[in-house]
């Protein structure tokens, strides 16, 4: 049976490069790097193809930049397999982008206080729940956790300031605020349940893990 | 000639993959909601 697994593809590429570069002792590390690169390439290609088709490339670019940047520092809910993450990410980012584009005429006439409220709510959620390490990569110590917390709050404060300065008239302001709120939502217990339900919904095999995509 | 070029190309690729892998260890994946299993022991 023809099967495609990103994990296996990463392993194959990593092992091949390790052999050719005479770095056999690093095969596992190179496979991990290859898996990340391949996964990112596939995900970005698909995401931007869908975004271009829906004419929401600008919105998705800002959403991805803000959520991605904050997510590196704050962590958040994870899916248990690559293809589930791929579908969940594409669906949520394009749905958010489409909703923002559709609501832009309405959002641009909203008072600035609504934008400030959105930003403040996000700040509270990051203050309350960040940072969160994935189960397979816990924080090494409390100092490292504290550093991630400080960096998260600093990045969120800077991006909030950008949203406020840009204001309600530009798509950038609302898109940045929406991205911050969405990423904050994935840190909450409800956000974990939401991503978890997508994970269950997209489970094709009862054993889970790296399912073929 | 090809053999002469192949080795540095793969060595550079290996360096790039190692940097990507090491940058992601200890952080979370930028491209959202799936975290590949990191190697047990990185050198």
A85/B34 CB distance under 8 A: yes
* pLDDT band per the 50, 70, 90 thresholds, residue A208: very low
What is the distance between the alpha carbons of residues A93 and A174, in angstroms, rounded to a whole number?
A: 14
Q: What is the pLDDT of residue A213?
A: 34
Q: Which residues of B touch A76 (CB under 8 A)?
A: 28, 33
| Tens digit of each residue's pLDDT (9 = 90 or more) over B1-43 | 677 778 889 999 999 888 888 776 544 455 545 666 777 754 4
Which of the residues B7, B33, B35, B38 would you substitute to probe the A interface, choosing the one with the greatest number of A C-beta atoms within 10 Å? B33
| pLDDT value of residue A181 | 97
Mean pLDDT of A91-102: 95
Decide if B5 touches A, using CB distance below 8 A: no
Q: For the purposes of burial, counting CB atoms within 10 Å of the CB of A80, is it exposed (0-12), middle (13-18) or buried (19 or more)?
A: buried
Q: How many Å lie between the alpha carbon of B1 and the closest alpha carbon of chain A?
A: 16
Report the distance separating Cα A111 and Cα A59, nearest Å.
21
Over residues A31-57, the mean pLDDT reads 91
Gap between the Cα atoms of B15 and A33, Å rounded: 10
Asked if the Cβ–Cβ distance from B42 to A28 is below 8 Å, we say yes
Q: What is the pTM of this model?
A: 0.81
Cβ count near A130 (within 10 Å) = 23
Q: ipTM value, please give it.
A: 0.72
């Amino acid at each position: 049976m023809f099967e495609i697994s990103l994990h296996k593809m990463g392993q194959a590429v990593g092992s091949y490069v390790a052999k050719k570069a005479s770095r056999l002792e690093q095969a596992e590390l190179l496979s991990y790097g290859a898996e990340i690169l391949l996964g990112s390439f596939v995900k970005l290609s698909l995401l931007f193809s869908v975004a271009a088709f829906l004419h929401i490339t600008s919105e998705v670019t800002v959403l991805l930049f803000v959520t991605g940047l904050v997510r590196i520092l704050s962590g958040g809910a994870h899916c248990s397999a690559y293809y589930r993450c791929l579908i969940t990410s594409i669906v949520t980012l394009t749905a958010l982008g489409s909703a923002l584009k559709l609501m832009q005429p309405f959002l641009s006439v909203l008072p600035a206080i609504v934008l400030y409220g959105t930003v403040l709510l996000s700040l509270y959620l990051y203050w309350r729940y960040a940072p969160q390490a994935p189960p397979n990569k816990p924080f090494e110590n409390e100092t490292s956790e504290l550093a991630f917390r400080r960096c998260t709050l600093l990045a969120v404060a800077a991006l909030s300031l950008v949203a406020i300065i840009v204001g309600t008239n530009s798509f950038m302001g609302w898109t940045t605020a929406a991205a911050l709120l969405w990423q904050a939502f994935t840190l909450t217990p409800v956000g974990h349940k939401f991503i978890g339900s997508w994970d269950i919904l997209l489970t094709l095999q009862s054993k889970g893990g790296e399912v073929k995509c | 000639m090809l053999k002469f070029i192949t080795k540095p190309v793969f060595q550079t690729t290996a360096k790039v993959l190692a940097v990507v892998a090491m940058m992601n260890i200890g952080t979370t994946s930028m491209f959202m909601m799936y975290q590949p299993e990191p190697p047990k022991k990185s050198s």
